Amino acid sequence: MLMSFLNDEAGVIVSAEIVLVTTILVLGLIVGLVEVQSAMIAELSDISSAIGNIDQSFSTSGYASLKYDGGIKARTFGAAYLDVQDDCDGDANVMIVCDDPGEVPAYYTDDSNVISN
C-alpha cells in the first residue's frame, strides 16, 4: 500500500504551479506587512502627539500658620512651573524626525568662505 501511494501520480503539482502560488503568497505577505507598518507608525505618531500635548504646568500657593500672639508658627512657600511647548509637540501629521536644533545652517559667501549663524 505504501508503494502504491508513493508511485501514484494523480494530483501531482507541477513545479511551475508551486512557484506561481508561492510568488502570489509572498507578494501578498509583503503588502500586508507594509500595511501593518503604516498602521503602527500612524498609531505611534498619535500616541507621541498625545504625550507631547500633556501640559505639566502647576502652581501651589504658600501656607502660613500663626500663633495666638500673631507670630508665625509654620510657613511653606508656594511653587510654580510653566511648561512651554517643545519643538515637536502637537504635530498633527506623521513626522518621524524633527529638525535637530544643534544643526546650524551654513551659508557661502562669494569667495567660497563658509559663514554659519
Residue 68 lies in a domain: no
Query: Could you give the number of structural domains in the chain?
Result: 1
Query: How far apart are the C-alpha atoms of 22 and 24, rounded to whole Å?
Result: 5
Contact 61, 113 (CB under 8 A): no
Answer whether residue 26 is part of any domain. yes
The answer to whether residue 81 sits within a structural domain is: no
Domain that holds residue 106: 2-54+87-116
For the chain, state the CA radius of gyration: 34
Whether 67 is in a domain gets the answer no
Does some domain include residue 24?
A: yes
In a domain, 107, yes or no: yes
In a domain, 30, yes or no: yes
47-106 confidence digits (pLDDT tens): 877 777 788 888 888 888 999 888 888 988 888 888 877 766 655 554 555 554 544 455
Could you tell me the pTM of the whole model?
0.47
